[in-house]
Amino acid sequence: MAPVAHPKPTVATFKLASTGTGVSQIVRPEGSEHLIRVDAAPAFGGNDAAPSPIAYVLGSLISCSQVTAQLVARDLGLKLHGFAFTLTADLDTAVLVGGAKEGNPNFESVKIEAFVETEASERELAELKRETERRCPIYQLFVRSGVEVASNWRAVSI
C-alpha cells in the first residue's frame, strides 16, 4: 500500500470501519487488532452491552489529556507518575432523544478534575495544564465546538 500524500508532512490519517445492527456497533481501526464495541442504554434503544458513543467521547477527552500531558511533560522536563481524572458533562437530550427542532445537541458544559502525581511546582503544573489543553486534539475539539470546558489540575504527592 502506497503512503498517502499530505500537504503537510505532520498530518496523520486515521481510518476506521464499522458494522452493526440497531444501535450496537463494532468499530475497527485500520492497522489495529483492537475492536471498539459500542452500544447504548435502553433509554436510547440499546441493550447496554458496551459503552455508549457518549462514554467513548468523554473517555477520549480525559484519555487524550493524559497522553498529551505526557508529551508536554517530556518537553518541559517534568516527571509525571500517575493520573486520576473525574469528569462531569451536561448534555440536553431534547434534540437527540426528543427530536426538538430548536436547541443544541452538543454538550453544554464539561468539568474536569485532574489529579497528577508529580513533584512539579504550582507554576510548572499550571504550564503543564495550559500546554496540554492547547495541544490536545480532543480537548480542542470540545472547546472549538463551543462547549464550556472547565478544568482544574492538582498535584498530589507520591
Q: Where are the domains of the chain?
A: 1-51, 53-156
| Cα 78 from chain centroid (whole Å) | 23
Task: Label residue 7 by pLDDT band (50, 70, 90).
Answer: confident
Q: Is pLDDT above 90 for 22?
A: yes
Task: Label residue 157 by pLDDT band (50, 70, 90).
Answer: confident
> Which one, of 112, 114, 10, 113, lies nearest residue 69 by Cα?
114
Output the pLDDT for position 8. 83
Output the pLDDT for position 5. 60
Output the pLDDT for position 3. 55
pLDDT tens by residue, 58-86: 999 999 999 999 999 999 999 999 999 99
Top-confidence residue, 101 or 3: 101
Strand locations in 7-156 (E) = 16-21, 24-29, 36-38, 80-91, 107-118, 148-156
Third-level CATH fold of 1-51: N-terminal domain of TfIIb (2.20.25)
According to CATH, what is the number of the domain 53-156?
3.30.300.20
Whole-prediction pTM: 0.90
Report the relative pairing of strands 148-156 and 107-118 from DSSP bridges: parallel
d(CA 108, CA 79): 34
Mean of per-residue pLDDT scores for the chain: 94
Q: Is pLDDT above 80 for 46?
A: yes
| Span 107-120, average pLDDT | 97
Tell me if domain 1-51 and domain 53-156 are identical in fold: no
Continuous H helices in 79-155: 122-135, 137-144
The answer to whether the CB of 112 falls within 8 A of the CB of 61 is yes
Q: Is pLDDT above 60 for 2?
A: no
